[in-house]
Structure 1
Amino acid sequence: MIFGLIFICLVLYIVSRLVNGFRLIDIFVILGFIYFLWREWTQYEWNFKNLTDLIPIVFLIIYAMRDTLWGIRVIGLSIPIIQQVVLKYIETKNKLQNRYQDYLYEISEIVLVLTIFIGFGIQNFLKLPYVELSNQSLIEIFGFEFAIFSLYGIYAAFLQFLTENDKSYYLGISKARFMLDKSIWPRFTRTTSFHILLALIVFIPIIDKIEYFDSIQELPYLWQTCYIVITMIYLNLLKLNLNIAYRIFRLNAEKIKRENNKEENKRRITEIYGLEKQISIDVQRFFTDEFWKVYEHQGDYVRDYISIRLSERLRLINDSEIDELVFTIFAREPFENYNLANRIFEYIEKNKKKDFVKFFQFYKEFCKNKWNTLKNYQESISPSTWRFLIEQDIRIFEKLIETDKTLDTLKIEYPEEIKQMPFLRDEKIREFLFNLLINKEGIDLDKVLKSVSEEIREFHGKTTNQFFEYTYDFLKFRLVTILDKYENGNVDLSLPKFQRLSDYNVFQNSERNDYENSMLYSKICFNYLDRGRIEDFSQSKIKKFDNDEQRKHKIKAQKIKDLISSLNEEYRLAFMLYQLFYTDRIQWDDNLEFYDTEIKKIMNYDEQYHDYLFDQAKKIIVSETDIDHRITEMFLDKLWKTRNETIKDFSWFDQFGEQHLMSDFKIMYIQWLLSRKEDSYPKSRFNIERDFPIKVCKSLVGKIKGNGEMSVKDLNLKWRIRCKEERLGYFCREYLILTDKLDSIFEKYRSYGKKNNIQVSVEYLLHSGKVNLSDVIDSISVSSLLHLEWILKWNYNHYTRESNYTSRTFFDTMTSNSCYYWSGGEGILEFYIVKIIDNFYYNLYQDREFMDGFKRHLESQLNSLNKTIEEYVESIGEKVTGIDNISILQKEQIISKLNDILFYQDKQLESKVRKNIGINGGFIS
């Protein structure tokens, strides 16, 4: 029995030291336990009169009792039954201590008076020996008393020394004063009874010398009792003062040590009995009591009463202690009833059947006032503390709502009228707290995003769940707020990366095995990015000489790319198609190159994923965007199913209708993107066999080609044919315009293997003889004209035996090529500037009609741009870089020829005319 008890005490002691750390003295304590175990094992008979047996026992009681009790507490808290007992004991002890501190002054008076009466009574009852005051001289007696008064004078001097040198503060509280106030002994010296005692030990000897009072035999007992009590009080005060001095010196030494060696700045659990912990408990208890006092008597206090008290405390301390004070007051400490957060959680858990509306509204108001106060001190509060306390408040509100079975608190946050009229929605308390969190300077948004991502991964709510909207709404709000902070703020984030459909075990049973819940994240991010036509983010590469504004714009552009790339394949495909669909007719999105590359990457997966991917993208576009009136499910189905069909007539595009507001070429281009990867030998989508764009009978062909008379029906047919020709021409023109935006869609190779289906299809039309070039070259850029020239001049062998392209092809096919107006615009002018040194076009530059128009339009363009010839040629060179590079020498040659045309051509022509006249005149004579 005794052996087992000793062994249990040893285990408890070791558990305590494992938690709190071992000391040198612990070796001797453990050896003492082992000695006792050995004595009990050998059945040695104990003799407590023997010092050999008595001293080890006293040693263990002194040094092991505290750690043994602490071991019981550590182990007991892990056992439910013992945990309840321990917590009840702690709660009762804390309540008694709290009461004791509240009435310490009154208790001091009572204890002192009772001590005097009891001491006097015992001496008088037992007739103990006493000092014969009558036989002593007053000088001897006063010498005794003055010695006591001198000792108390030393005590007073020590107090004065502490007051003058009191520099050791914690949380705005003097450590020395705290230790004095928490002890009952200094309180005795401030009581009326103590002052009476001091007076009695002076006057009793004098009274005893008076003959009138000789009959009072108890006076010596009373004097002796007062003297002993005052001496005992002094001895305890002396012990207290020495303890205060020692603890202050030790605390200062530990502070210096922590500052010099931060690795040793680790708090141990034993600090729960330390001075700083006692001060923190006192501070926590004060605010906890104030909180519940205000809650229970709300009518007697202003709403921000706690915040006012908090501000008062914050103004008393240094900036370096604000963080610790705030954490001490509001952070949760489990199992401690003096802790505010813990008491709140206990209140919620133990009052499940109560109406939480009153508390919810009070705590909501309290939180707003508290955080509005703390915002003024946020520079002194660490990001970790800021985040911990905000997340704790959010958990309290969530606990309140989830625990309230009546759902009344939920209705406060989500009233019925808000569901019917979302524009009335105001900021929820959790949103208020989360905005405070992410707007705190120094907060690690990566950790916050990681936390939200983990919640998304675990979120599998159902629409039937009454808390689904409550949970999802806040989850969405947090993610959208973080993404907005990332896009528009000066912060970097590690955005989530999800597994691809082609990765192992991701695509099962013709759908995504979404254990990562990537669809939820992508849905929220997609809705965040859905702002109509998104801004231009094509320029994201930062250059050396960019200014701050350019750098800021490019950084944001890269972040938008990263946000789109963070979507899973389904939502990424849907978003990029949505952006391509959003532009009208022949408009092209500025970010086309990015979309083109990314869609090709997605559609390069095996064909088994294609139907699933497009079906998901279709559902997203139709259900989650605002263009469902244009891009319908029927349109998308046709777009997908006909993506590989051969086009035999341009009426094939009519099946898509007109509500989509997309050009024929854009439909075909998107179909090409959605098709599987390119074949090794690309093919044209077109196979038009008729000479005319529409079906026409042979008898009518002659009328249309000839100049014979035609009826109204014939004229209408001719108009229809012209519309079809324009449709073909606009198709090719749009491709050439696209080549300016998308380099990858045009390959300058004669080999088929280097091209793509789109280029081959356009080449087929241009060499078919069915396209009127005047519709193609109208107002297109110089780079587009260079692409067209290459197709017509060099890439003909797969379609015709010889090229029909000449130096006059573009000039002759313009709808207007007079010297007063060129329908080709500035693109045709710049094209002929580039070709002015090309021998292929030599004959054209000898044509007087062409040169008149060329010179007139060149002068007009230079005046309009307010540029010199050199500047204009340089700008053209930049436009054609990568297409038809112009060397420095070629630029000089072009500039020289343009100067000749502008300034010397008329004189040269005039001299030629005179020369010709002279020759003709000599011949006549």
Structure 2
Amino acid sequence: MFLNITTIILVLILVYPIFHYIINLVYIEIIPYQVYNFIKNITDTLKRYVRGFSYIFFILLFITIMYIQKKNGLPIFELRNVNLIEISAFSLALLSLYGIYIGFLQYLTEHNEGNSFLGKSKLNFLINSSIWYHITQSRFFFITLLFEVFTPVFIKFNMKIPGLDLYQTNLELSYIWLTTVFILVFLYILLLRMSLEIISITLLMKTGSDLGMQNIITKEIKGVYGRAFWKSYIRPFDYQGLIENMLSKDIKKLAPQDIDDYVVTSFEGIKDELRLKRGRKFWNDKQLKDFTYFYKNYLQEKWSFLISQINNISYSAWQSLIIDDISHINFFEKKLNENLYIEKSYSKKLITEYLFDQLLKKSSSNLQDIITYTENTTNDIRIINSDKIYKSEVELEKYKWKEIFEIYYNKHSDAQLPNKKTEISRRTNEVGVHLVEARDYYNTEISSQACFEFLSSYFGRISEDIDSNQCLKSLIFSMNNEYLISFILYQMLYTDGGNWEKNFTFFDEILKNTLNFCEEEEYDYYFSFAKKALLQTNISHRITKSFLNCLWDTRKISIANLNDWYSKFNQSHRATPFRLLYIQSLFTSPYENKYTSRVLSHNICTIKDTELAIQICREFFQLIDNHPILKENDFFSLVIEELLILDDFNYKRLLETLKLKSLLYFEFIMQYKISYEKKINYQEIMFKQLEVNYNSETHYLFRSNALLDFFVLKCIQPDYESYFTLVEFTKTLKIEISRFLAKEDLDIHEYIERLYYELREEEIKISKIEKDMIINKLQSLL
């Protein structure tokens, strides 16, 4: 019975190559994939244990041949009748064949350099995967050689086996000798075939055409690590054994250039095992929780090790490993319907965030790739999961973008940030109401919100010049229009009382380009969005919902009393009246009340109203110095003109705070927009700012260098000629000019040249002829 079974097994083993070849040709059309996969698993298992299997095969082969001889009355001839020298010569001839095989192995050993792939010698891999090679390495093979040489000697000297007579002993020894001869010849033929295959593959290796060999080695490594992964889970949770004892030791044997491919290959094997496991239906809650706990710790150990090899791993491989791990974690989170955290330094962090942090460690020269990857993952988010999972995915994407923005800004990267916008359209519903629809095809709200939160928390109020900082400028423009407007309003309403007008021109141009030609529904949409965003920031305790509602509701109301209008806003906002008027003007159509001032000056009569009017005018003219774009604002031009004609307007308090450019623009408004209609002597207004009455005498005081510069420029103007004939005035002017020149260490030419260049780019400027005339006038004066 035993011999029948061994015969069947031996036959199956012998026909396996043909069977395997046929299956590879026809399994797609004939055999279901599950059956093929099952057979492949069996054959792969046999290959893994080729050494032990070779021993079993050798013993079964020996027993089978012995059995066949005995059953059929063999041997054909008796060794005792053959000449010993002839038999010995035959035996030695047979052994010499193996001498050729040994010479072949020696040749391979000497020419094996440079034939490695992923740290494994291709030739050694071929030899070690051969069952015939392992048979020659076994002690059974050595014993077979001894039997082949010495059995004829035993027979010739009539040695007996205990318990058998001489004839039976000779017969048994003849069976053994013929069996050894058959096995050695059979084995040599197979070894010869193996050698020819190795030679052909060696020739392919020299021409670089051995991709098949490389694929086999790759598959072998994947299989080793895939099985080791599950063993580390079963042991239990011996993930350190997998990483420290196995992977780290294997990598130490590799050349630096091979580490990248080896790491990817080994973890691809684990990924394939996980994908296969995830596709099955037998996960129960306990299995899932146990495995998730194991996988979290495995990831931490894995990435701690990989970070030590970060310089040897390419960005593409690094990213691929992280994407795979994030995919697995997302799968487990969806199955468990909860977020997974990792314990680190007495705190916990989402595993997906932890994994993205590892990706950022390769951001120094690959930030553009990280931006592209994150942009794609953000675009792919859709509301198809539970609210909890969807929110966690959105939060992860926001976390990614914030980390990217911080690296982008701190490293002054030249990478390209996304710049996609929401598509806004208007429609009318069935009852005639105009509606605004926003289509966010690229999920721009996620990255824009992340950018808004990053900028507002990282900077607060931005005090530097945005136009001169390309990174900061790119960050701002990466937001969609909704968050862009929200961010600008955040800057304008920031409550620290700082220099809010630093980037006025930059913000003003953006808002005009975005809000131009908007309809009422679009203004409402943008402001409502901005209100929601602002109420989530660190200024919401001052810029409250009621404040923002009031800002929107009163934007079109004519202002008959400035104090009453300003008092409607809560007192904690710290925004000036000018800022509130300016923001309200942004969300009002420029064609609405285009020729009528919103502020009605004839109703402004209280001291508080006048104070607010001076404050508004002062802020307007001070902005003009650095942001001449404000001159183009028709809304404020009308408001300022209306306020400047107030009966109790204190021009002195206004003008003493202004610089040269704003003084000249103030004069321009008074001269060309007010004086003709209101019959106001603008020269007298300017000159009166210098007068000081002391002991019933009139003296003149230049309260600022800007006023001195202004009157120096007017010394050649006919409209001011009469004032320069006043002895006290010219005396004071001469003293002030001399004092200023001494303080600044300038002569008259240098002083006027400086004024010339200061006004060169302005609408109100002096010509070269006027410059020379002023110099001559001052020289004669001094």
TM-score for both structures, normalised by structure 2: 0.85
- CA separation of 1:304 and 1:149: change in aligned 2, threshold 3 A: closer
Matched, 1:633 2:545: yes
Matched, 1:431 2:356: no
Partner of 2:763: 883
Tell me if the contact between 1:453 and 1:496 (Cα under 8 Å) persists in the aligned partners: no
Q: Partners in 1 of 2:772 and 2:233 — Cα distance?
A: 88
TM superposition shift of 1:587: 4.9
Matched, 1:113 2:59: yes
Matched, 1:786 2:664: yes
Partner of 2:163: none
For the residue of structure 2 that corresponds to 1:648, the secondary structure is coil
Describe how 1:225-304 pairs up with structure 2 within 5 A.
225-255=179-209, 274-298=212-236, 303=240
Q: 2:177 aligns with which of 223, 227, 234?
A: 223
Matched, 1:735 2:648: no
Task: For structure 2, list consecutive stretches of 5 or more residues without a partner in the other structure.
Answer: 1-14, 161-165
Partner of 2:92: 146
For the residue of structure 2 that corresponds to 1:497, the secondary structure is coil
For the residue of structure 2 that corresponds to 1:771, the secondary structure is coil
TM superposition shift of 1:434: 0.7
Amino acid at match of 1:525: C
Q: Partners in 2 of 1:503 and 1:331 — Cα distance?
A: 50
Deviations 1:700-727 (A, max 9, x none): xxxxxxxxxxxxxxxxxxxxx4x54443
- CA separation of 1:816 and 1:352: change in aligned 2, threshold 3 A: farther
Amino acid at match of 1:206: V
Tell me if the contact between 2:601 and 2:642 (Cα under 8 Å) persists in the aligned partners: no
TM superposition shift of 1:64: 11
Q: Partners in 1 of 2:77 and 2:428 — Cα distance?
A: 99
Tell me if the contact between 1:518 and 1:568 (Cα under 8 Å) persists in the aligned partners: no
- CA separation of 1:459 and 1:97: change in aligned 2, threshold 3 A: same
Amino acid at match of 1:398: N
Q: Partners in 1 of 2:566 and 2:307 — Cα distance?
A: 63
For the residue of structure 1 that corresponds to 2:331, the secondary structure is helix
Q: Partners in 1 of 2:486 and 2:228 — Cα distance?
A: 56
Describe how 1:53-452 pairs up with structure 2 within 5 A.
69-70=23-24, 72-74=26-28, 82-98=32-48, 100-101=49-50, 104-105=51-52, 107-166=53-112, 167-211=114-158, 215=167, 216-218=169-171, 219-255=173-209, 274-298=212-236, 303=240, 305-331=242-268, 339-342=272-275, 345=278, 350-404=282-336, 410=339, 412=341, 426-440=348-362, 441-442=365-366, 444-452=369-377
Tell me if the contact between 2:425 and 2:438 (Cα under 8 Å) persists in the aligned partners: no
Count of aligned residue pairs for this structure pair: 746
- CA separation of 1:868 and 1:874: change in aligned 2, threshold 3 A: same
Describe how 1:440-519 pairs up with structure 2 within 5 A.
440=362, 441-442=365-366, 444-456=369-381, 458-459=382-383, 465-489=387-411, 490-502=413-425, 510-514=435-439, 516=441, 517-519=443-445
**RMSD in angstroms over aligned alpha carbons?**
3.7
TM superposition shift of 1:319: 3.4
- CA separation of 1:73 and 1:210: change in aligned 2, threshold 3 A: closer
- CA separation of 1:332 and 1:221: change in aligned 2, threshold 3 A: closer
Deviations 1:417-439 (A, max 9, x none): xxxxxx98543321121122233
- CA separation of 1:871 and 1:397: change in aligned 2, threshold 3 A: farther
- CA separation of 1:209 and 1:650: change in aligned 2, threshold 3 A: closer
Greater alpha carbon shift after TM alignment, 738-747 vs 62-71 = 62-71
Tell me if the contact between 1:725 and 1:770 (Cα under 8 Å) persists in the aligned partners: yes
- CA separation of 1:425 and 1:124: change in aligned 2, threshold 3 A: closer
Tell me if the contact between 2:398 and 2:446 (Cα under 8 Å) persists in the aligned partners: no
Partner of 1:27: none
Amino acid at match of 1:495: P
Q: Partners in 2 of 1:763 and 1:161 — Cα distance?
A: 102
For the residue of structure 2 that corresponds to 1:682, the secondary structure is coil
Deviations 1:770-798 (A, max 9, x none): 42210210221110001011111232366
Partner of 2:11: none
Task: For structure 1, list consecutive stretches of 5 or more residues without a partner in the other structure.
Answer: 1-60, 257-270, 416-422, 541-552, 695-720, 748-754, 906-925
Amino acid at match of 1:222: I
Amino acid at match of 1:321: D
Amino acid at match of 2:713: V
- CA separation of 1:189 and 1:71: change in aligned 2, threshold 3 A: closer
Q: Partners in 1 of 2:461 and 2:174 — Cα distance?
A: 101
Q: Partners in 2 of 1:461 and 1:340 — Cα distance?
A: 26
Amino acid at match of 1:342: R
Partner of 2:474: 559
Q: Partners in 2 of 1:194 and 1:351 — Cα distance?
A: 48
Partner of 1:535: 462
Tell me if the contact between 1:783 and 1:883 (Cα under 8 Å) persists in the aligned partners: no
- CA separation of 1:526 and 1:734: change in aligned 2, threshold 3 A: same
- CA separation of 1:816 and 1:93: change in aligned 2, threshold 3 A: farther
TM superposition shift of 1:303: 3.3
TM superposition shift of 1:125: 3.7
Greater alpha carbon shift after TM alignment, 206-215 vs 368-377 = 206-215
Matched, 1:526 2:458: no
Partner of 1:830: 709
Tell me if the contact between 1:431 and 1:477 (Cα under 8 Å) persists in the aligned partners: yes
Q: Partners in 1 of 2:179 and 2:347 — Cα distance?
A: 76
TM superposition shift of 1:164: 1.3
Deviations 1:28-49 (A, max 9, x none): xxxxxxxxxxxxxxxxxxxxxx
Amino acid at match of 1:790: F
Describe how 1:417-816 pairs up with structure 2 within 5 A.
426-440=348-362, 441-442=365-366, 444-456=369-381, 458-459=382-383, 465-489=387-411, 490-502=413-425, 510-514=435-439, 516=441, 517-531=443-457, 533-536=460-463, 538-540=465-467, 554-563=469-478, 566-569=479-482, 571-582=483-494, 587-600=499-512, 601-621=514-534, 623-657=535-569, 658-678=571-591, 681-689=594-602, 693-694=605-606, 721=607, 724-747=609-632, 756-796=634-674, 799-800=677-678, 802-806=679-683, 809-814=685-690
Partner of 2:721: 842
- CA separation of 1:798 and 1:637: change in aligned 2, threshold 3 A: farther
Q: Partners in 1 of 2:208 and 2:556 — Cα distance?
A: 79
Deviations 1:373-398 (A, max 9, x none): 22343344333322222111012122
- CA separation of 1:95 and 1:192: change in aligned 2, threshold 3 A: closer
- CA separation of 1:668 and 1:509: change in aligned 2, threshold 3 A: closer
Tell me if the contact between 1:586 and 1:663 (Cα under 8 Å) persists in the aligned partners: no
TM-score for both structures, normalised by structure 1: 0.73
Tell me if the contact between 1:538 and 1:594 (Cα under 8 Å) persists in the aligned partners: no
Q: Partners in 2 of 1:866 and 1:315 — Cα distance?
A: 73
Q: Partners in 2 of 1:727 and 1:777 — Cα distance?
A: 15
Amino acid at match of 1:281: K
TM superposition shift of 1:856: 4.1
Q: Partners in 1 of 2:746 and 2:693 — Cα distance?
A: 24
- CA separation of 1:876 and 1:427: change in aligned 2, threshold 3 A: farther
Amino acid at match of 1:669: Y
TM superposition shift of 1:461: 6.7
Amino acid at match of 1:373: F
Tell me if the contact between 2:419 and 2:477 (Cα under 8 Å) persists in the aligned partners: no
Q: Partners in 1 of 2:398 and 2:314 — Cα distance?
A: 27
Tell me if the contact between 1:844 and 1:850 (Cα under 8 Å) persists in the aligned partners: yes
Amino acid at match of 2:319: R
Among all aligned residue pairs of Structure 1 and Structure 2, give the percentage whose two residues are the same amino acid.
Answer: 26
Tell me if the contact between 1:782 and 1:828 (Cα under 8 Å) persists in the aligned partners: yes
- CA separation of 1:151 and 1:893: change in aligned 2, threshold 3 A: farther
Q: Partners in 2 of 1:596 and 1:679 — Cα distance?
A: 19
Q: Partners in 2 of 1:293 and 1:581 — Cα distance?
A: 61
